[in-house]
Chains A and B, each alone.
Chain A
Amino acid sequence: MTHPSDAGPAPVLALEDISKSFGAVRALRDVSLELFPGEVHALAGENGAGKSTLIKTLAGVHRPDAGRVLLDGEPVVFHGPGDARDAGIAVIYQEPTLFPDLSIAENIFMGRQPRRALGRIDHKATHAATLALMRRLGVELDPDRPARGLSIADQQIVEIAKALSFEARVLIMDEPTAALTGSEVARLFGVVRTLREQGAAVLFISHRLEEIFEICGRVTTLRDGALISSEPVDGMTEDDLVRRMVGRDLDELYPKKDVKPGQVALSVRRLTREGVFTDVSFEVRHGEIVGLAGLVGAGRTEVARAVFGIDRWDGGEVEVQGRKLVNGAPSTAMAAGLALVPEDRRAQGLVMDMSIERNIGLTGLRTTVRAGLVDRGAERSRSLDWAVKLQVKYARIADAVSTLSGGNQQKVVLAKWLATGPRVLIVDEPTRGIDVGTKAEVHRLLGELAADGVAVLMISSDLPEILGMADRVLVMHEGRLTAEIPRAEATEETVMAAATGRAAA
């Protein structure tokens, strides 16, 4: 680990006593940060701690109200993202936005392609320059391949290559691993190490603590917009870091209660959707939390969608509490007591412009009815009830959900579904992108639901979460169920072996 001492190299980029307010909210209070060439620096903090504001200040999106930004020791003012980019600062977002119909090379050199005579684009030079960038990153991607169909991991690589083509010296990676599989994370970390060796400064944001310990040399922690600490990662424990982020000891991240499973609640038999998943059979009992693990793309989400009726299945059957479900009909699945908390809360879970009250109300339109009209009083009390139970932080129940932080949005999605009083609950990546404090709350909630007799099927790419919460672990690999592992035998190794197809059950 190279972590610079006072006598070492000067910081390439520094923030000095930066403050930024939005209206009455002080998003950043006197925050300082130094990034040195050749270091990977973690930025940690809960949702709403000020990480995004800090990144946007570095990237030239926000201008600080007070404090200075220093580039190579010289004060600079960024008037926009273009200024920051020209200064060698690049931001790699969680989900890059490429032009799908252009090739990788065209995406990288969009708007500044090498030219030949008469202003024609020099495709050969573009191709060669892209190849050189990929070689620098140690990644093999065909420059002529269209961006459409690239995995998120590959898209990030393209963004990183693009940043390098701008001679970026500071790379800010905003939760780059949130949507990546294990091997993709490993490749990304390889690239990050390469960048570090080439002298770049990397600011790395992740909710996965173990990643901070794996790749970062120093960590800066924010809480409520204030700087808590900036220190070397060596010698810290995960508990130390959590305490700095949350401001208290977290009782337990995985509060799993022992529950004796009851009757079969959800029974999936030989379910097949052609080309997507094949011959999937499993049961979930009342009071049980069953984890569904596997790599991204293994077909886990697709099984959940088909069970709930979003997609049709081609063969097999699904029973909820002894009632056969109709193929492709979410409303009958709901009537049978099934609920699905989808993986993408913005696209599938919420209507962002609609109020908290009405979002939660959407699943109750059939029940909160009087004389054919929506019973607004009942709708409000139902929504308030659940918003309070889940401790959603909001100003007014009539505010749009878009005004909430990510963790609170996820709670609204949960509230929306718990309000239906489900007996079988499928949660798909219930804690993706939410902070460790909220995560613990969601886990506690799932534990309580199971204790109340709800059958829970939990899809997650977060292995510690699966291992910590599930009574049994089902593993999918390439559209098939490859293993069923009881809690006692479930380890990272056994689950990963089944998920990657190295072991058959």
Chain B
Amino acid sequence: MPESLTRAIRWDTVVGALLVVLLLLSFGTVDGFGNALNLSFLIGNTLPIALIALPMTLLVVSGEIDLSVASTAGLSGAVMGKLWNEGMAIETIIPLCLLLGVVCGLVNGLLVTRLGLPSLAVTIGTLAAYRGIAQIVLGSDAVTDFPSQYLDFAAGRVGNSFLPQAFLPFLVLLVIAVVVLHATPFGRSLFAIGANEEAARFAGIRVKRHKLILFTVTGLMASLTGIFWALHYASARYDNATGLELSVVAAVLLGGIDFDGGKGTLGGAVAGVFLLGALQNVMSLLNVSAQSQIVVTGVLLVISVLGPRVARQISVARAGRRAAASTPTS
């Protein structure tokens, strides 16, 4: 009994339960929530956050953060638009843009691991820099005339269901991320690095290499998101996805990933993403003003930082008592 209680108190389970409750309530009481069009909007609008949340979760678990993701996404979209305007084939453009994302991530990673700078500071810097480059590349143009089969894929749904087509590739990426974080030596090392980098180093874990890989993958995923964004909304502008990094970080923290690193689950993070997405959708349906929505999001963020700590203290106290009770010192 105590053990099942302790498990139930885990914060990621709490967030998952909150998401289910919110969905059930909304289906029952919010007009217009349950129809396929709204659900597809909800999921489609949340997908960019979810995509970036995957690598961001791994980064935060390892004790780092990347705030430049939205700018990388914007830069990728802008470059895509620019090259499309120049007449390059989309099949060439997309790999180039992904490569650009890799470079953006690599720059962050090298600055953090080689120069030993804090990632918060580095990526605030590159947040501005990448966005600035995006504006230089595309100016105030908006590129909208991408090939229709790409636009259709990014905005379309699976058959007549509410599921966006892009949700399926996301699911694949989610499974990969879950396996990497929770079942591979790489993922296990990330938890050790985030909780105690010094001890990880003493255990022979190549800390810098792990981090460099993470930043690079984050850049790649951010640029994938940027491409998706431009196609999904059929608009490549330099200011695409502005501010997205805050939504991502908020959702990841809400999902119980400890900002100090070393703790959390991807399940929790993804539940956090969709909880935030569903909440915003519901509030819009209920005509809650944009300002109030921001307040609600802010309050949630504060709760999300507090909640997991309280939950953990309860379960640590239980575990400690249990351990002490069954360990006679003689």
Contact = CB atoms under 8 A, between A and B. Distances in A.
Interface of A: 22-25, 46-49, 224, 247, 308, 310, 330-331, 333-334, 340, 342, 347-354, 358, 361-363, 365-366, 369, 372-374, 393-396, 399-400, 402-405, 416
A334 B192 CA distance: 18
Contact of A399 (B200, B319, B330): B319
Contact of B204 (A46, A330, A404, A405): A330
B263 interface: yes
A74 to B, nearest CB: 33
A334 B203 CA distance: 9
A362 B184 contact: no
B323 A403 contact: yes
Contacts of A361: 188
Nearest to A334: B204
A19 B203 CA distance: 41
Contacts of B330: 224, 247
Contacts, number: 110
A25 B324 contact: yes
A59 to B, nearest CB: 21
A330 B202 CA distance: 7
Contacts of B316: 400, 402
B111 interface: no
Task: Please give me the 5 A-B residue pairs with the lowest Cβ-Cβ distance, nearest first.
Answer: A48-B329, A365-B185, A23-B321, A24-B325, A403-B323
Contact of A393 (B195, B199, B329): B329
Q: How large is the interface on B (under 10, 10 to 19, 20 to 34, 35 or more residues)?
A: 20 to 34
A48 B328 CA distance: 9
Of B183, B189, B206, most A-chain CB atoms within 10 Å: B183
B329 A224 contact: yes
A47 B329 contact: yes
B326 interface: yes
5 contacts: A24-B324, A47-B329, A224-B330, A347-B198, A349-B199
Contact of B202 (A48, A340, A396): A340
Given A224-B329, A403-B319, 20 more contacts: A22-B324, A23-B321, A23-B324, A330-B201, A331-B205, A340-B202, A342-B202, A347-B198, A351-B199, A351-B200, A352-B196, A362-B188, A365-B185, A365-B189, A365-B205, A369-B185, A374-B185, A393-B327, A399-B322, A404-B327
A224 B324 CA distance: 13
Interface in B285-311: none
Contacts of A47: 329
Contacts of A365: 185, 188-189, 205
Contacts of B183: 373-374
A400 B319 CA distance: 8
A82 to B, nearest CB: 24
Given A47-B329, A365-B189, A366-B185, A403 B324 contact: yes
A25 B326 CA distance: 9
A405 B179 CA distance: 34
Contacts of B200: 351, 362
Nearest to A405: B329
B109 interface: no
A387 to B, nearest CB: 13
Interface in B172-228: 179, 183-185, 188-189, 191-192, 195-196, 198-206
B262 interface: yes
A394 B327 contact: yes
B192 A354 contact: yes
B195 A353 contact: yes
Given A373-B183, A374-B184, A351 B327 contact: no
Nearest to B202: A348
B329 A395 contact: no
Given A363-B204, A395-B326, A403 B320 contact: yes
A394 B321 contact: no
B311 to A, nearest CB: 14
Nearest to A392: B327
Interface in B146-195: 179, 183-185, 188-189, 191-192, 195
A49 B329 contact: yes
A310 B329 CA distance: 35
Contact of B184 (A340, A350, A372, A393): A372
Contact of B323 (A308, A310, A369, A396): A396
A148 B204 CA distance: 31
B60 to A, nearest CB: 15
B58 to A, nearest CB: 16
A340 B324 CA distance: 29
Nearest to A376: B183
A23 B196 contact: no
A93 B326 CA distance: 29
A289 to B, nearest CB: 22
Contacts of A340: 202
B196 A350 contact: yes
A109 B323 CA distance: 41
A351 B323 contact: no
B201 A310 contact: yes
Contact of A347 (B199, B205, B263, B321): B199
A62 to B, nearest CB: 14
A44 to B, nearest CB: 15
A35 to B, nearest CB: 25
Nearest to A47: B329
Contacts of A400: 316, 319
B32 to A, nearest CB: 44
Most buried by B among A22, A46, A399, A402: A399
Given A224-B329, A394-B327, A403-B324, A358 B204 contact: no
A340 B198 CA distance: 13
A365 B192 CA distance: 11
